[in-house]
A and B are shown apart, each in its own frame.
Chain A
Amino acid sequence: MDANDAHDVTLAQARDESAFRRLVERHSRGVFQLAFRLTGNEPDAEDVVQEAFLKAYKELRCFEARSSFRTWVHRITVNCAYDLLRQRPRHKAESLDAAADEGAQGGGIEPEADDTSRPDRLAFGVEIEGRVRAALDLLTPTERTAFVLRHFEGRSLEEIGETLGLRTGATKHSIFRGVQKMRRALAPVVGRPASVRGQASCSAGL
């Protein structure tokens, strides 16, 4: 664990608020980034950030420093976001195209100023962004969490399984289904539709 974190954790465990404040200030942006990827929108991400640090403060005495403070608080963040995703009604778009249009129109990030000189590229980028958002909204809470943790956070299957209470096989399957849905959603704008697999033979062997 980072030396500053270790020192501040020890003080914060003795209820030194200024030490906990330093931990919050140091890790808030990373926690927000993770929360945003898991929830997909800023208000929910902000709620998760707040809840995660409050929980961390309450449970700090149980923290045994076997992992870093960052890993620990990120795990709490994942749990908070996962709970929120499970409570939230899932997006029911009539079609991925409609959902992508919605995604492209709302909740998106304003484009960078220098991109406006390339309208075709901008439109393409916005369309992809909309489709990615739409596809993420179509994933189940488990698929979304597993996918985000594997793809963006690079967590191991064991770690993801432990967080979500899944066996390794189920964890793999959740990630796979998440990726599969992303591929289907993005097929019209990126790459080609997945071919029929597992039935044809080829000479390469395995």
Chain B
Amino acid sequence: MNHLTEEQLVLYHYGDTGDGVDAASIEEHLHLCGLCQADFDDLRHTLQAVDSLPVPDRPDNYGSEVWARIQPSLDGDAETWWGRLQSSLTPRRLVLAGGVAVLVVAAFVGGSVLSRRQPTAPVAAPAANPQTASADPEQVRERILLVAVGDHLERSQMALVELVNSPSGATVDISDERERARDLVTENRLYRQTALTTGEPGVASVLDDLERVLVEVANSPSTLTAAEFSTVRKRIEQQGIIFKVRVFGDRVRERETRSVVNAGVRG
């Protein structure tokens, strides 16, 4: 007779059986077969080691923290969409979101208007109409997005650099950084979605990485213990997000400059 298969041992460990083999038969086999018993012991030791993986503890008021985070987004029946928007956006956040929205809309509207105008331009003599030639809608759209994303990356980089360089004591107050991170998350989401819809997966990917870090900072308590702060700092450093944002920010700036130069050359 064959030994028990690894799959049979795993199923038996969890109280499941299969392939027409019942638990009593497996038990009996284990009792008589030293090899299978040894293998089963090994399996149990391994799974005990898996149990040792700790789960970070959450404070007693964790439920209240979660509630504070989700409450503004609850879709109350009595509330209108405008009421919900008002309650979820602080005045400062509204200004920021508005600014971003204006830039994004400008990028699309600018591009669309120019797209409609372009066919009327003389095709045979582009040089004769430099204004039209230089105002390629794709370029306009790209330039506006690049300027906005470049600024956003620069501000995010500064915020993260300041955070990791915060003077650490027994406790660290990161309430300002947390507030900045919340604002940056709002902007980041808009840029990321815009980058996705405009076919910029590279930009979207970096913004996605950045958003994870910003969300973590935004959701942290305003005062951290030295150990908590060290963990946050370590995580930011290990992910290399500051370096990534810096390098990508430089690339965006280069593209922005090239875009302006190209437009100038054509103009």
CA distance A202 to B1 in the complex (A): 6
Within 8 A of B (CB), among A167-206: 169, 172-173, 175-176, 179-180, 182-183, 186-187, 189-192, 194-195, 197-206
Residues of chain B within 8 A (CB-CB) of A83 are: none
User: Which listed residue, A57, A129, A180, A182, touches B52 by the CB 8 Å rule?
Assistant: A129
Contact between B49 and A190 (Cβ–Cβ < 8 Å)? yes
Distance in Å: Cβ of A74 to nearest Cβ of chain B: 15
Residues of chain B within 8 A (CB-CB) of A42 are: 56, 216
Give the number of residue pairs across the A-B interface with Cβ within 8 Å. Answer: 170
Residues of chain A within 8 A (CB-CB) of B55 are: 33, 36-37
Contact between B45 and A197 (Cβ–Cβ < 8 Å)? no
Q: Interface residues of B: mostly helix, strand, loop or mixed?
A: helix
Query: What does the 1/0 interface line of A140-180 toward B look like (CB < 8 Å)?
Result: 00000000001100000100000000000100110110011
Contact between A53 and B70 (Cβ–Cβ < 8 Å)? yes
Residues of chain B within 8 A (CB-CB) of A136 are: 53
Q: Is A62 an interface residue (CB 8 A)?
A: no
Residues of chain A within 8 A (CB-CB) of B69 are: 50
Contact between A191 and B45 (Cβ–Cβ < 8 Å)? yes
Contact between A106 and B238 (Cβ–Cβ < 8 Å)? yes
Q: Is A91 an interface residue (CB 8 A)?
A: no
Contact between A204 and B70 (Cβ–Cβ < 8 Å)? no
Q: Interface residues of A: mostly helix, strand, loop or mixed?
A: helix
Q: Contact residues of A with B, CB < 8 Å? A: 15, 17, 20-21, 24-29, 32-33, 36-37, 42-44, 46-47, 49-50, 53-54, 57-58, 105-107, 109-110, 125, 128-129, 132-133, 136, 150-151, 157, 169, 172-173, 175-176, 179-180, 182-183, 186-187, 189-192, 194-195, 197-206
